[in-house]
Structure 1
Amino acid sequence: MPTLTRTSGLGRPVTIGGVPEGHTIHRLARRHRRLLHGQVVEVSSPQGRFAEGAAQLDGRRLEGTDAWGKHLFHRYDDWWLHIHLGLFGKFRDGALPAPEPRGALRLRLVGERSWVELRGPTACELMVDAERDALLSRLGPDPLRKDADVEAFLARVARSRAPIATLLMDQKVIAGVGNVYRAEVLFRHGVAPLAAGRDLPGEVTAAMWDDLVGLLEDGVRAGRIVTTEPEDRERPHGRPRRVDAHYVYGRAGLPCRRCGTEILDADHVGRRLFWCPVCEA
């Protein structure tokens, strides 16, 4: 099996930035639906980079919101507003009156009672149905969607020579899983990160899918990622603290919660991968 080159052993939890994972995008879709659904919306781009698109949407009614993996959609008549937050995109919202626009504000939506602002996204664009369909055809199934094609995910993994750690981050294989869920689900199922997808028993891959469905749904409800079981936390009762939230992610140099072995990390396809060399052997 290939080896990973370790990059650090910090002995303490670390904060690592990244693209928001799928639970965050689904939460945003639900929140925007609550704030603006059915309302005629004033749309502007104070920064100017989305001025033409904003002019197309201004005065239209928000008919619905949707999410697929890390992609957020608003529906306005014949248009889809497509947003991908990327590394730096952030939403902010509040009750009217809206504050004065400040800084690089890509998009502002103002409804009857609320306002929503977007800064720094990787993508903020208009799409027609055919363009959205083309984008979705390039994405794998999303565990948070009721119409998710789990068999497509299982088949893609079963025929791939790529490491399972790579496949879980490939949005063409499974949409919405990011670095945290990737590291945590591999640990929870005792799967070596560099094991080839095709070498995994089908029941293990299916169990990881089912686990991701539950973990992502928990993330949507809680607004945070918690993957540890109560008995594996330093404080097993009450709301999980940040230091108790994960098994391996961000814990390089700390002891494994289950076996005590030092958690390792390494660069893997441009991202940091965390694992326990004993529990995931």
Structure 2
Amino acid sequence: MPEGHSVHRITRQFERNFVGHVVHAWSPQGRFALGAAEIDGRRMTDARAVGKQMFLGFEGDVWLRVHLGMYGAWDFAGDIRMDATIASANGRMGQTNQKGTFLEGPNPDAVVFDTAGENSLTSIGAPRKARLRMSESEKEGGDLATFPPEPVGQVRVRLLTDTICADLRGPTACEVLDPAQVEAVVARLGPDPLIDAGRAAEDRFVASVTKKPTPIALLLMDQNVVAGIGNVYRAELLFRARQNPHTPGRLVPEEHVRHLWHDWAKLLRLGVETGQMMTMDDLDPEAYRAALANRADRHWVYKREGLPCRVCGTNIVLEELGARKLYWCPYCQA
């Protein structure tokens, strides 16, 4: 399932390539025909993300809400201008959201091919006709012979301008909403530090965690508690905090909860900048480049069950919690 950094990156693809343009919409598979007809021919005015939810605004106060879920993905094709959060020639990053803040650009020395195709750093530069898939992993395809390309597979909705198209497949949710309905969806979500890094959002997260008897590992995955954290970031955040995943939220010291919030903000920003869930700190340049290139080298515990902990040597444990896989070190996180 795409985690928060991926959804922010996808939204910024729309911000860079679609906002300000008239968009034609249709549903090749037919399941979203009525919704597509509602937004067809309207100019896109906004693109926002909150956690794992994305909202595309159109003229007339019409919004398209998309939640990719486990299997959803966007495919972009055409004259693609890459992710607005990648540093441009002047080093300035694209707007994150309605707050209008900017992120610092990644170190240009960190531009590394990812063997798993998790990032899109190889596509920095001028627009070109190409394909790009954006879900949990971002993968480039080959050059296009014709534009627009024929839809491939079960495309729920295609959004098309004169120069670029975006095809959505397999989402959990795809619906047209009015502003009040959008606000109702957002109100149910926990805070997202990329939207609001202020004290009020932090306090809201802390209050949600410290009043509940639910294990902290489940709370971090609850989108009503905090928006955007998935299985990878959950495991890595808890290890980085040396926090036992089974501790009830109300028994986790407040300073530990605040540390989790700030660490999540840090990792989320890094994930948006690089397109990768980089969770290891203090690596030398060679190790950092290796980690960018290979997913197995950039996590402390995720998918390392049975392997020795990078810190203490104890074998990493894999268990099921809340119908999801949980990876943790029983010594470091005792």
Fold match by TM threshold 0.5: yes
Tell whether 2:269 aligns with 1:217: yes
Structure 1 unaligned segments of length 5 or more: list them.
1-18
- Amino acid of the structure 1 residue aligned with 2:205: F
Whether the 8 Å CA contact 2:35–2:175 is kept in 1: the answer is yes
2:88 is aligned to none
2:167 is aligned to 117
Residue number among 275, 278, 281 corresponding to 2:328 in the alignment: 275
- Amino acid of the structure 2 residue aligned with 1:101: P
Tell whether 2:300 aligns with 1:247: yes
2:281 is aligned to 229
Cα separation, partners in 2 of 1:120 and 1:101, compared to 1, 3 Å: same
* Partner SS, residue 187 of structure 1: helix
2:62 is aligned to 79
- Amino acid of the structure 2 residue aligned with 1:93: F
1:190 is aligned to 242
Which stretch shifts more, 131-140 or 183-192? 131-140
2:178 is aligned to 128
1-side partners of 2:48 and 2:251: how far apart? 35
2:46 is aligned to 64
Figure out how many residues of one structure are paired with residues of the other and give that number: 262
Shift of 1:273: 0.3
1:34 is aligned to 16
* Partner SS, residue 238 of structure 1: helix
1-side partners of 2:47 and 2:325: how far apart? 32
Shift of 1:112: 2.5
Cα separation, partners in 2 of 1:237 and 1:141, compared to 1, 3 Å: closer
Shift of 1:232: 9.2
Equivalent residue runs for 1:36-51 within 5 Å:
36-51=18-33
Structure 2 unaligned segments of length 5 or more: list them.
80-146
Tell whether 2:221 aligns with 1:238: no
Shift of 1:35: 1.1
Tell whether 2:259 aligns with 1:207: yes
* Partner SS, residue 44 of structure 2: strand
2-side partners of 1:136 and 1:272: how far apart? 27
Task: Please provide the CA RMSD for this pair.
Answer: 1.5
Tell whether 2:191 aligns with 1:141: yes
Equivalent residue runs for 1:9-24 within 5 Å:
19-24=1-6
Tell whether 2:208 aligns with 1:160: no
1:33-70 C-alpha deviation (Å, 9 max, x unpaired) = 11111000111111111100111111100001000011
1-side partners of 2:318 and 2:151: how far apart? 42
* Partner SS, residue 192 of structure 2: coil
* Partner SS, residue 64 of structure 1: strand
1:3 is aligned to none
* Partner SS, residue 279 of structure 2: coil
2-side partners of 1:190 and 1:268: how far apart? 18
1:90-146 C-alpha deviation (Å, 9 max, x unpaired) = 110111611112321111011121111111111110001111111111111112213
Shift of 1:238: 2.5
2-side partners of 1:72 and 1:274: how far apart? 28
- Amino acid of the structure 1 residue aligned with 2:216: I
* Partner SS, residue 193 of structure 1: coil
Shift of 1:147: 6.0
1:1-39 C-alpha deviation (Å, 9 max, x unpaired) = xxxxxxxxxxxxxxxxxx210000000110111111100
Residue identity over aligned pairs, in percent, reads 46
2-side partners of 1:73 and 1:237: how far apart? 34
Shift of 1:237: 4.6
